[in-house]
Amino acid sequence: MAFEITKDLLENVTLFITQKKNKALSELFSEMHHADIAEVLDELSFDEAVYIIRLLDSETTSEVLMDVDDDVREKVLKQLSAKEIAEEIDELDTDDAADIIAELPEKRKQAVMQQIEDEEHAKEIVELLRYDENSAGGLMAKELVKVNENWTILQCVKEMRIQAEEVTRVHSIYVIDNSGKLKGRLSLKDLLMASTRAKIADVYIPKVDFVVVNDEAEDVANVMRKYDLEAIPVVDELGILVGRITIDDIVDVIKEEAEKDYQLAAGITQDVEADDTIWELTRARLPWLFLGLIGGIGAFLIMENFQEMFSDNAVLFFFTPLIAAMAGNVGVQSSAIIVQGLANDDLKGSINNRLIKEMLLAALNGVILAIVLFGFIWIYGGDFQKAFAISISLIVVIIVAGLIGTFVPLFLDKRGIDPAIATGPFITTSNDIFGILIYFWIAKVIIGF
């Protein structure tokens, strides 16, 4: 059932566009899901994409616009008039509409808002624009089904039929009191099973999970994942029901968070894809490489400082890449575990306990690895003292690297900085330098030159 973009399909589309065969194009796209159309547009040239957007009806294209790559959307929106954009906006749910409006330049924003025909819709979008995009308010939509606790089931079904017209998917029916405060929920199943004469107040479930408008997106995701929710109501500071968040938006939040962390760990500034331009990819990758360069220069300065040791202890210098690699690897391992624990909110206990545990763990790993390394140098014909010095240094370097890897993300998190930046090149580079410094220093003490 998977949709695949074939070369034939793309060639056909391009051909139809050059020949202005609008009917053939409409037919071709009428059978396709908007997410598939978006994939096709991502592959077309920009002019071709605008051509298709103008050709299809605004109900389809509004959804397509939500699904295309950000850069394609930005370019297409630039090409459309304020009125055309407003028509797309009219078709969208408030959350998607607000996302698109938020991407527009300030002047265009106002021009588009004034062209929106449905005043209620426009008001709701303006409300949503006030919230931070990474908060519950920024994720929620205004479309939901709510009933008053004082109604009967029959009244409720009647009202619901009207409200449901505007709501793509009904998950729960939220129950409010006369002042609009969230009181509970009613499942569609309960509604289906209850007698039509029953009163809402008698059948609704007063226990309902909810989030507050200013809760962070990541926390909303954690709550919905933990309790297996498909939708969650959002209330304001007074407890008034103001919107709801659906799981499909949360799936995107989870995916984006994971990708961001993964890219940071790999030394890539967030938000690039393999198909971005070389220039975009360079901007995402170069800063981290510069950091590595500076670290490498630091290592150079340290080694240069110890160079008088070389004539008698050349072997020490040949093991610096090993020391640097181990320091980097251990640091990344321990920071990654902490970052993941923080993201999933399942780190318990104090920072001190974490550091002690990491120290024991690193010491265990370090001793095992040091024994192997000692064995290698010994068998290879190195002398005992040097083999001993290198192995002891390795243990200390691994312990220090583990502690840095554990402490830095915890520290950043306490300071309100995203701990994920502490993984990848950041930790590798600092551990390289610390590692090499400790290594030469300990070797000097043991060998005593």
By CB under 8 A, name the one of 263, 313, 391, 393 that touches a second copy: 263
Rounded to an integer, what distance in angstroms lies between the CA atom of residue 95 and that of residue 243? 10
Nearer to a second copy, 133 or 275 (CB): 275
By CB under 8 A, name the one of 44, 102, 129, 157 that touches a second copy: 157
User: Site map for a second copy, 22-41, x if CB under 8 A?
Assistant: -----------x-x------
- In the complex, minimum distance from the CB of residue 101 to a second copy, in angstroms, rounded to a whole number: 21
Residue 104 is given by DSSP the state: S
Contact 166, 120 (CB under 8 A): no
The yes or no reply on residue 238 touching a second copy (CB under 8 A) is no
Contact 87, 60 (CB under 8 A): no
By CB under 8 A, name the one of 18, 19, 47, 321 that touches a second copy: 321
Burial of 276 by CB count in 10 Å (0-12 exposed, 13-18 middle, 19+ buried)? middle
The yes or no reply on residue 444 touching a second copy (CB under 8 A) is no
Rounded to an integer, what distance in angstroms lies between the CA atom of residue 174 and that of residue 177? 10
User: Site map for a second copy, 111-150, x if CB under 8 A?
Assistant: ----------------------------------------
User: Site map for a second copy, 183-222, x if CB under 8 A?
Assistant: -----xx--xx---------------xxxx------x---
Q: Write out the H or E segment, with its range, that includes residue 253.
A: helix 247-265
Q: Of 86-94, 119-127, 146-154, 347-355, which part binds a second copy (CB under 8 A)?
A: 347-355
By CB under 8 A, name the one of 89, 176, 326, 408 that touches a second copy: 326
Contact 111, 159 (CB under 8 A): no
Amino acid occupying residue 255: K
Nearer to a second copy, 201 or 369 (CB): 369
Contact 90, 58 (CB under 8 A): yes
Q: Of 21-29, 116-124, 356-364, 440-448, which part binds a second copy (CB under 8 A)?
A: 356-364
The yes or no reply on residue 286 touching a second copy (CB under 8 A) is yes
Cα-based distances in Å from 7 to 13, 16, 44, 412 = 10, 14, 11, 48
Rounded to an integer, what distance in angstroms lies between the CA atom of residue 303 and that of residue 283? 31
The yes or no reply on residue 417 touching a second copy (CB under 8 A) is no
Nearest to 388 by CA among 442, 320, 437, 333: 442
- In the complex, minimum distance from the CB of residue 220 to a second copy, in angstroms, rounded to a whole number: 10
Q: Of 102-110, 116-124, 313-321, 441-449, which part binds a second copy (CB under 8 A)?
A: 313-321
Sheet holding 172-176, edge to edge: 146-148, 172-176, 182-187
The yes or no reply on residue 352 touching a second copy (CB under 8 A) is no
Length of the chain: 449
Amino acid occupying residue 376: F
By CB under 8 A, name the one of 46, 262, 378, 441 that touches a second copy: 262
The yes or no reply on residue 338 touching a second copy (CB under 8 A) is yes
The yes or no reply on residue 393 touching a second copy (CB under 8 A) is no
- Looking up tokens 């034939």 gives 8
Nearer to a second copy, 251 or 417 (CB): 251
According to DSSP, the β-strands at 182-187 and 172-176 are antiparallel
Classify 176 as helix, strand or coil.
strand
Rounded to an integer, what distance in angstroms lies between the CA atom of residue 270 and that of residue 134? 15
By CB under 8 A, name the one of 29, 288, 388, 434 that touches a second copy: 288
Nearer to a second copy, 31 or 119 (CB): 31
By CB under 8 A, name the one of 51, 174, 204, 319 that touches a second copy: 319
The yes or no reply on residue 15 touching a second copy (CB under 8 A) is no
